[in-house]
A and B are shown apart, each in its own frame.
Chain A
């Protein structure tokens, strides 16, 4: 035990001496949450639009002010000819143009049908889609109001309710994503690097010659990073609750338990990397490509897994972050209990045991 304590102490000295790394390790989750929370967002807000109003009547004016009043759009330009629209798009000034033909109100009143054209800048297809949807919704909303006075023979009205995330906030999906990413980075990368560094320095040999059992060395190496990860999880959760207004709907205890489970899986992966490599650069490269990229690409955090081709969907199953991301979403956002995530928890546990067994085996082989 005394051996173990001296070892853990030494690890903390290493971490504390390297101020820059401490800063990165503790500051990274905060930075990421803030960047994702305020800068990188796929929500559409205050998009600049142009209006080409060839009718200039009550109806078009009403629609114009409805669009302008919504938080999605800002009318920044009135155009008076088609070429001006194209010019505005080319300048990159506007994302959407709304065109009312002549006699808009007249057509609406007398023929019960009027047309409005939406032209979107589809160089970013997702934004274009979202913008036309929002604009259509606003126009339909207006139509609903004016038809309230008249009876239509058949109408089907859709009522939508966005469960778990009524305001459709992006934070609800990226908080779990950032958690997965940060834990992975801290644990896998740092464990791999710190063990390989001892190999590079030649101190690993000294330790293997000492009476300290290899298993203890490995565990002692992991302890400080496990603690750091718990600090990181805490800061991410605090930020998301108090700054981003993302609530923790489920059990905090379960959330922390799952985080520790995922942390351990990452640590085991870092350990596995370290047993197979001899230089810090290689370790870093493997950790980044082997863990970071799949975490970002295949966990479902950036890109929905359901839309991926079958081979990628199959591969995504071996990415631990996918399961962790799912668990956090279920527990934190939907407020579900262990009954809803026991299968995923079991999968993560299995991965942990597998990685641990493999790396300890490899560690021993190295000795023989």
Chain B
């Protein structure tokens, strides 16, 4: 998981600014702004509608239209409004948007594709599975940076993560090679997806091992992945990771919430009590 996604998912800002410090809007204003002339105001409105989960049919329609926007372009040819609209649609839970997001997978802007993949994973509609699998067909040979570039041609970690979230067991043979991808973050995404698809602890343990890595950014990423899969045996290792307490708390929250769902509240398992005891120490 990237840091930016982690911030968004957690509501915690790594840069220190509270992530919830936003300009006050009403849903009606935001919708009007999204259809207005000012590019910056439209961009913010798209984000705002997702952040505050405004999922009326009018908003969904307006965001779907924004996926084909041609007016907001970066110097490099990117489509900022399409990116934000694709991200917002992933938060609104309307399956009607899946075909529109799937069309975004052909967009020439990498970040539009990335946002669309993330949202398709979050929406849980399996109709996109074959298209996502297609991205992995070339295996590691294709999934390399272009000569002279440091960036991968496709958002492989998001694709692999989304397939895991969608429970796409048919994708296992395509995902498995990515456990050996040269990029650590892609390896983690593959380990996370393989665990979700097989429940084999061997994959989750790779992420536990990554908690002891040298780079803070990688440790943060492994924390986020372990929280997302709610892997209980990692609880102690998470608590001891060299990283911010706020991030460890979020990862343990993921573990706790998965564990709490194995019983009916107010009943709490020994595992849940163990996780909360660890969390108390990090406050």
Q: Do A and B bind each other?
A: no
Interface residues, chain A, CB within 8 Å of chain B?
A: none
